[in-house]
Structure 1
Amino acid sequence: MLLTDTHTHIYYHAGTDKLQEQIQRCLDNNIQRLFLPNVNSASIKPVFDTVAAYPEHCFPMLGLHPCDVKENYVEELITIQKNLENHKVHAIGEIGLDLYWDKSTLNIQKDAFRTQVQWAKELNLPIDIHCRDAFSELFELLEELHDDRLYGVLHCFTGTLQQAQHAIDLGFALGIGGVVTFKKAGLDNVVKEIDLKHIVLETDAPYLAPVPFRGKENESSYLVYVAQKVADLHHLPIEKIAEITTANSQRIFGI
């Protein structure tokens, strides 16, 4: 069995014993592929330090997280773009829109998103999208930018079945994480209706730990609980879920 965590911030522990311990627990649980999304210029170094330490298991992305789109966002984008010229990455991300924390930055979030989507198209890379309280705004943007070069993952998907289908129609896979194990979230009812060819698994560690660790620090080894929940919803063995979702990740990220 080979599982893939398509979105983890495990690099927050770069250079520590905690990183080594968490990677070992991943390997012990057959989680052998981890994709690391950048969030701002300060996180570039820990991403690549982690990739250098575990090159067979960790794969980098680069992008500017919408919550880090602030007054200096143009400078941040320039720094990230320079690193794209010097490093191989497997996606542009995490990028997107977030209206939960600050609605006042929507226009510059959109501008940053458009810029980074253009990078992805030029580099023939997928995008890894963060969306919180902004589905209508995001879909409007994606419709504007849509062409056959735009594809990727809608990370930490928590929307409705209609929103899931809209994302799929636009060429995106759905990143399913710990929220699918939450009893009152309703995501389980959506996931069981989605063809598995449109799903990848993720943790978003250290955030959104699945049951039975809800409310505690998440880690990538907990991906097995997400995979088991998806397996239960689709009445399939976890090994089959691992096979399909890892194949989906290989198709999207090209590795």
Structure 2
Amino acid sequence: MIQITNIAAYKFVSLDNLEERRLALLAQAQVNALKGTVLLTPEGINLFLAGTKEHIDVFLDWLRADPAFVDLEVKFSLSQDVPFKKMLVKIKREIIRMNHPTIRPEAGRAPAVDAQTAARWITEGHDDAGRPIVLLDTRNDFEVDAGTFVGAMHWNLTKFTEFPQAVLDHKDELAGKTIISFCTGGIRCEKAAIFMGEVGVENVYQLDGGILKYFEETGGVGYQGNCFVFDERRTLDPALQPQPLA
């Protein structure tokens, strides 16, 4: 049986000619028999695609030939089946809606902590300066229910647009600690970390590459349960293998 390669990637970068880009992306994905979803927005790209490794590699080589995506970082996982029914390329206003247009990661990312360093801090319970660690889950409540880091803080969000007010409501709880904001693949926690910094929360990091990259590089140190994903696999365990929802 042919094993399927799944990729997840995003990049905050100013994009124009969105309809032209949409048609080109769709054509290239179809030529390579890929299925999944690509979101194109003025602030960047977000994609989840599946196909054979050969076709994924051809598609990524084509995409990275565009100067806007030359340094696109990709997370990989494998499955026995394609977890998408069709190929869609959509134009949206934001990669992930936050309703704070001044939050522009392209203009400057929040500090990021890599998976290996995060795993060490989680194991030790503090950062390199001795500050206690708070793991802040920026995902929605049903995603948290599938799994999260042991002891992680979350605010029962039903949508990401609720996050800014939740930060303001809980800001005092974050004082004096090192905050690692995390999400599935990195998009929400990147915007979240920037917003927290702008409203005066100190010592904020984003988990670089999100939970999926953390699983890939550490095997899920300190994580309990699975990670919800928005395709037919539903959740992935720390070995990046599909698991049924409980």
Q: TM-score, with normalisation over the residues of structure 1?
A: 0.28
Select the structure that is richer in helix: 1
* Greater gyration radius: 2
Select the structure that is richer in strand: 2
Q: TM-score, with normalisation over the residues of structure 2?
A: 0.29
